[in-house]
């Protein structure tokens, strides 16, 4: 399969000076009826509860619908909230499906069914991007990375009926060119009440930190882009107005919102004037400064998701996570807690340097520092990452349904798989015991984080090592 470049578009009309955008606009004007797109967020078939309870509105597909909806008619299906894909796809011209690894097998099945009915099938998202040859077997075209950067070429080919197997932009568009996501596509479903009330929003894209287990550096390289602040703030004000309340809840979908400190601090300063609440994924590199945590608290931040990953400095070095300084962990936690910010802390197990002692160390850290919402996962080498290439000979299975970070992928060198899983289950059960929850949560605001702890208490009681196989 070859990489197709934006320059390969030829002008089907008279002049030589027409731009690809002009060609597209001419084709749009010639459209007798608008083509019909079915856009699908598949439900994963993984055995774990990753798509259960309340799920967030899928910003990725909302962006796809926003871009495509300017030229085409859109039907939006999110299987996670119970929307069903019709068996008969005859009303549609294009079936566009997003996929991560954990729902790739489902996305491929949808693609195969749509191909059998003669539809143009598009597969996008991180898994098809990383494995475009594999994904190409189940669709007409794979979209590499974000739709915005390749849209003119893709839309032109759909209108001309000249599809290529792969669409990959030569360069990424500035984020200021991106449209404000139109949430009406997701909210049109009568089941939209199942979505979390947090509104997904994007200020930046990319993360040059370069952890070897993460797909972001592979897709976006060293690139870090951001939207002009006014665009982000206007979008927030728009939602405040739409909801008729100042205290709207936002959830940043950014890979690493704090990578450019100056941009991030100005964003915080401006958000503090809005009266909103927000949460985000963040790397901890400058949260050790009390004034940053203070400003984050003042700007309405109520929770930050931080990848602590491990308490072993050797492992941090081996995965190239330069933003994590283990000596700073406690300082970061204290700074956030002093400003009323709860922590969703991510911890991974199964690294070669892990030993039985790693579990006790992590337990002690979580309990001592009263981490509100610890999330434990098993190290998962995702296709397309340097870690995947390194670990490939040792990986036990390539069944993508198991690539949800809750399955046992390879035997670490420091302990047997059996010991790993036994301790992994025990740690989760200990951290989510009633008494442990009280110790971590007492005195903290009674909100959804408490609820998440109660759910985790029930969930972890049912865990056993076999589930992770």
| Strand 373-378 with 342-349, pairing | parallel
Q: Which stretch binds ligand SF4 (CB under 6 A): 132-140, 158-166, 207-215, 294-302?
A: 207-215
Say how far apart CA 37 and CA 53 lie, in whole Å.
28
Question: From the CB of residue 29, how many other CB atoms can be counted at a distance below 10 Å?
Answer: 7
Shortest approach of ligand SF4 to residue 280 CB, angstroms? 12
- Given a contact cutoff of 8 angstroms between Cβ atoms, the answer to whether 25 and 156 are in contact is no
Q: Measured from the CB of residue 453, what is the shortest distance to ligand SF4 in angstroms?
A: 24
User: Residue 202 binds which entry of ligand SF4, ligand B12, none, with Cβ cut-offs from 5 to 8 Å by kind?
Assistant: ligand B12
> Where are any strands of DSSP class E within 187-323?
199-201, 204-205, 225-226, 249-252, 277-282, 301-309
366 binds ligand SF4 (CB under 6 A): no
Cβ distance to ligand B12 smaller for residue 252 or 363: 252
User: Which range, of 2-10, 23-31, 56-64, 418-426, touches ligand B12 by CB under 6 A?
Assistant: 56-64
Least Cβ distance, residue 390 to ligand SF4 (angstroms):
16
Question: Is 181 or 206 the residue whose CB approaches ligand SF4 more closely?
Answer: 206
Query: Are the CB atoms for 418 and 466 separated by under 8 Å?
Result: no
DSSP string for 141-203: EEEES-SGGGHHHHHHHHHHT---SEEE-SSPPPGGGSPPP-THHHHTSTTGGGB-SPEEE-S
**Which entry of ligand SF4, ligand B12, none binds 96, CB below 5 to 8 A by partner kind?**
ligand B12
Positive or negative torsion for Cα 350, 352, 357, 361: negative
Q: Which does 256 bind (CB under 5 to 8 A by kind): ligand SF4, ligand B12, none?
A: ligand SF4
Give CA separation, 190 vs 78, 82, 207, 260, 449, in Å: 11, 10, 36, 40, 27
Which of 178, 293 has the CB closer to ligand B12? 178
Cα–Cα distance measured from residue 452 to residue 436, given in angstroms and rounded to the nearest whole number: 14
Window 340-379: contact mask with ligand B12 (x via CB under 6 A): -------------------------------------x--
Cα separation of 413 and 55, whole Å? Answer: 36
CB atoms near residue 314 (< 10 Å):
10
| Binding of ligand SF4 by 254 (CB under 6 A) | no
* Residue from the set 24, 37, 58, 89 that interacts with ligand B12 by CB under 6 A: 58
Does 386 sit near ligand SF4 (CB under 6 A)? no
Q: How do beta strands 225-226 and 204-205 pair?
A: antiparallel
89 touches ligand SF4 (CB under 6 A): no
Q: Which is nearer to ligand B12, 208 or 275 (CB)?
A: 208
Q: Which does 42 bind (CB under 5 to 8 A by kind): ligand SF4, ligand B12, none?
A: none
* Minimum distance from residue 279 beta carbon to ligand SF4 (Å): 16
Burial class (CB in 10 A: 0-12, 13-18, 19+), 14: exposed
- Is 60 a binder of ligand B12 (CB under 6 A)? yes
Strand order in the sheet with 120-124: 73-78, 36-41, 94-98, 120-124, 141-144, 166-168
- 148's contact among ligand B12, ligand SF4, none, with CB below 5 to 8 A by partner kind, is ligand B12
147 binds ligand B12 (CB under 6 A): yes
Quote the distance between the C-alpha of residue 438 and its chain's center.
Answer: 31
Q: Please name which of 40, 97, 105 lies closest in space to residue 402, comparing C-alpha atoms.
A: 105
**Can you tell me the distance from the alpha carbon of 52 to that of 455, in angstroms, rounded to the nearest whole number?**
12
Q: Binders of ligand SF4 among 302-341, rule CB under 6 A?
A: 307, 321, 323
Q: Which of 209, 248, 295, 409 binds ligand SF4 (CB under 6 A)?
A: 209
CB of 285 to ligand SF4, least distance (A): 9
Contact between 210 and ligand SF4 by CB under 6 A: the answer reads: yes
| Residue list 311-340, contact with ligand B12 (CB under 6 A) | none
Which is nearer to ligand B12, 75 or 216 (by Cβ)? 216
Range 246-285, binding ligand B12 (CB under 6 A) = 253, 255, 281
Can residue 310 be called a binding residue for ligand B12 (CB under 6 A)?
Answer: no
Using the rule CB under 6 A, give the single segment among 119-127, 182-190, 421-429, 440-448 that binds ligand B12.
119-127
Residue positions counted in the chain: 469
Supply 371's token pair: 């981490």
What residues form DSSP beta bridges with 76?
39
Rule CB under 6 A: choose which of 204, 405, 453, 460 binds ligand B12: 405
Residues near ligand SF4, by CB under 6 A = 207, 209-211, 214, 216-217, 255-256, 283, 307, 321, 323
Residues near ligand B12, by CB under 6 A = 50-51, 56, 58-60, 63-64, 96-98, 100-102, 122, 124-127, 143, 145-148, 202, 214-216, 253, 255, 281, 377, 382, 404-405
């Amino acid at each position: 399969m070859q990489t197709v470049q934006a320059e390969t578009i030829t002008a089907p009309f008279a002049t030589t000076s027409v731009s690809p955008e002009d060609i597209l606009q001419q084709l749009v004007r010639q459209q007798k009826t608008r083509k019909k797109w079915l856009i699908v967020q598949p439900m994963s078939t993984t055995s774990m509860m990753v798509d259960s309870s309340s799920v967030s509105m899928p910003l990725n597909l909302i962006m796809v619908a926003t871009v495509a909806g300017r030229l085409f008619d859109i039907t939006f299906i999110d299987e996670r909230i119970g929307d069903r894909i019709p068996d008969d796809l005859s009303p549609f011209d294009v079936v566009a499906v997003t996929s991560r690894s954990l729902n790739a097998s489902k996305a491929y099945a949808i693609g195969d069914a749509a191909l059998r009915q003669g539809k143009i099938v598009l597969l996008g998202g991180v898994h098809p991007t990383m494995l475009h040859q594999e994904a190409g077997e189940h669709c007409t075209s794979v979209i590499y990375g974000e739709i915005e950067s390749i849209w003119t070429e893709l839309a032109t080919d759909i209108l001309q009926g000249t599809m290529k197997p792969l669409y990959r932009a030569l360069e990424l568009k500035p984020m200021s060119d991106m449209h404000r996501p139109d949430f009406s596509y997701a909210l049109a479903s009568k089941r939209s009440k199942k979505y979390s009330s947090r509104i997904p929003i994007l200020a930046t894209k990319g993360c040059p930190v370069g952890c070897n287990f993460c797909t972001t550096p592979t897709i976006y390289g060293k690139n870090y882009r951001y939207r002009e602040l006014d665009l982000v703030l206007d979008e927030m004000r728009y939602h405040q107005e739409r909801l008729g309340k100042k205290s709207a809840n936002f959830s940043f979908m950014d890979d690493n919102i704090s990578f450019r400190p100056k941009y991030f601090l100005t964003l915080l300063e401006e958000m503090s004037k809005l009266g909103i609440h927000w949460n985000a994924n963040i790397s901890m590199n400058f949260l050790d400064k009390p004034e940053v945590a203070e400003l984050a608290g003042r700007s309405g931040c109520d929770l930050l998701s931080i990848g602590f990953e491990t308490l072993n400095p050797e492992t941090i070095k081996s995965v190239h996570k330069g933003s994590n300084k283990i000596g700073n962990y406690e300082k970061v936690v204290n700074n956030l807690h002093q400003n009323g910010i709860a922590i969703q802390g991510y911890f991974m197990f199964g690294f070669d340097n892990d030993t039985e002692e790693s579990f006790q160390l992590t337990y002690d850290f979580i309990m001592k520092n009263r981490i509100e919402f610890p999330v434990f996962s098993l190290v998962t080498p995702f296709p397309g990452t340097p870690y995947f290439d390194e670990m490939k000979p040792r990986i036990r299975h390539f069944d993508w349904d198991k690539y949800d970070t809750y399955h046992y992928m390879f035997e670490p060198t420091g302990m047997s798989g059996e010991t790993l899983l036994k301790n992994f289950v025990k740690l989760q059960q200990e951290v989510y015991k009633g008494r442990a929850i009280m110790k971590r949560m007492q005195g903290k605001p009674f909100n959804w984080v408490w609820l998440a702890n109660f759910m985790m208490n029930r969930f972890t009681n049912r865990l056993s090592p076999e589930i992770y196989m």
